[in-house]
Amino acid sequence: MDGCFQVECSEGGQSDTASDDEAFRSEVDAFLEAALTDELREAGRETTGLKSSRMACADWGDKLRKRGWIAPSWPTAYGGAGWSAAQRLYFENACAEQDAPILMSSGIRTIGPLIIAEGSSDQKARYLPPILSGEHEWCQGFSEPHAGSDLSALSLRAERDGDDFVLTGSKIWTSFAQHATHTFLLARCDPKSSKGDGLVFLLVEMDRPGINVRPIKFIDGEYETNEIFFDRVRTPAADRVGDIGGGWRTAKQLMAIARSNNTTTGLLRRALRAAQRAVAEQGDADSDLMSCLASLGQRVHEFEALEARAAIGQLGVEPAPSSSVLKLLATELHQAITELCIESAPYSDFAQAKYFATRAATIYSGTSEVHRNILARAIGCP
Ligand SMILES: Cc1cc2nc3c(=O)[nH]c(=O)nc-3n(C[C@H](O)[C@H](O)[C@H](O)COP(=O)(O)OP(=O)(O)OC[C@H]3O[C@@H](n4cnc5c(N)ncnc54)[C@H](O)[C@@H]3O)c2cc1C
């Protein structure tokens, strides 16, 4: 892979030998070169959101599974690749450079690692293998109509009845719930509680009677998010992670895992390559566009250096503010790149779809304002 900010791939940044890192990179490059067909590369290039087409994801997922690389962050004991943070970063960037499809599986990136860290042995046995095989797909049921940025205001009710909880209420903006076999969600199990107290973190099968998924269509016609309605849905109380009443702590742990699992330079590299193509297709592009492209390329390179240092714990700040810095910089830079795409190719369907898709990036996983608040608090503002 050319032009990559090089970090040592061995765990904690302490490379045993430079040749180990070199061997890892060569192995990844050779695999991608051989495994990515023209169709898969095309699907990767055409992706405007966080996931490639389902067909491309299935095909690419199968190849990664056979190679043992479907779950880069999972320990090998659970069927993962067992890679260090720096190795994962290299892999994500190499996939971006080679136009691999984007998988972005919630099971592999968020709930799987949480179950590995906190789940019971029964949950590990029941849930981890079907996540790896692709049989189970998960969605995240956190936001509600009156609980987005202020998530702890959520009110989905979980009433205890024998060995079950009975769920009543709704969730909103749930990405890919239309394909999900399971959802992990937060519900209020103590009706007298408020804020982060009295919550439970549950693993729920989507085909339970009383669950109804309704699509939300975006302004550009895309369909990715949903409302989920729960009408007295019975679900086993044993299918929770963490203590009854301690759901908020579990949710915070899940978010920390999700952030540490996600590397975003790959997405920026893909967007930059799309902008380069859009400018190149113009023929004799004007010098303002070229200079804008060069400056965005420089910013991606700087972001990559920052993300690489964060991945191996070298930023010297706590994980929470450092992930807010990365989220803010990456999503706002992503938007700037897609603005250049639109300027270069205003009538391109791809440029328009990508522009709309990245508008949402400064809303989901915490809005830019919320992350700025976190940073303000981290530097001691009242
Ligand atoms: C494409 C997309 C996919 C999503 N996928 C999921 C999903 O899979 N699962 C899930 O649970 N949720 C999902 N969400 C929901 C997302 O997490 C929320 O939209 C987000 O947290 C914001 O909440 P809200 O929409 O209720 O806006 P609000 O919280 O009502 O915010 C409205 C505006 O007020 C600002 N604001 C709010 N509070 C403050 C404050 N204290 N200081 C300054 N400004 C503030 C916000 O920044 C925003 O600009 C998704 C959202 C989108 C757009």
pLDDT at 9 over 70: no
Does residue 140 line the site of ligand 1, with CB under 6 A? yes
Does residue 142 line the site of ligand 1, with CB under 6 A? yes
- How many whole angstroms from 360 Cα to the centroid of ligand 1? 10
* H runs (alpha helix) in the chain: 18-35, 38-46, 54-67, 85-97, 106, 112-118, 121-133, 247-261, 265-281, 287-311, 319-344, 349-359, 368-378
Does residue 363 line the site of ligand 1, with CB under 6 A? yes
* Sequential DSSP letters for 340-360: HHHHH-TT-HHHHHHHHHHHG
For the chain, residues classed under CATH 1.10.540 are 11-104
Task: Select the CATH number that applies to the domain covering 138-254 from these four: 3.30.565.10, 2.40.110.10, 1.10.630.10, 1.10.530.10.
Answer: 2.40.110.10
What average pLDDT does this structure show over 271-291? 87
Task: Select the CATH number that applies to the domain covering 264-378 from these four: 1.20.140.10, 1.10.1060.10, 1.10.3720.10, 1.20.1260.10.
Answer: 1.20.140.10
pLDDT at 14 over 50: no
Does residue 373 line the site of ligand 1, with CB under 6 A? yes
Token code pair at residue 303: 């972001």
Q: Answer yes or no: are the C-beta atoms of 44 and 100 closer than 8 Å.
A: yes
- pLDDT one-digit tens code per residue, 103-158: 989 999 999 999 999 999 999 999 999 999 999 999 999 999 999 999 999 999 99
Question: For the whole model, what pTM was predicted?
Answer: 0.93
> Considering the chain, what is the average pLDDT of its residues?
91
Does residue 6 line the site of ligand 1, with CB under 6 A? no
For the chain, residues classed under CATH 2.40.110.10 are 138-254
- How many whole angstroms from 148 Cα to the centroid of ligand 1? 5
For the chain, residues classed under CATH 1.20.140.10 are 264-378
Does residue 226 line the site of ligand 1, with CB under 6 A? no
* Cα-based distances in Å from 158 to 164, 165, 176, 275: 9, 5, 23, 47
- pLDDT one-digit tens code per residue, 82-92: 999 889 999 99
Q: Which fold has domain 11-104?
A: Butyryl-Coa Dehydrogenase, subunit A; domain 1 (1.10.540)
What average pLDDT does this structure show over 234-255? 96
**Which residues share a beta bridge with 188?**
157, 199
pLDDT of residue 6: 52
Residue type, 115: I
pLDDT of residue 13: 45
- How many whole angstroms from 267 Cα to the centroid of ligand 1? 21
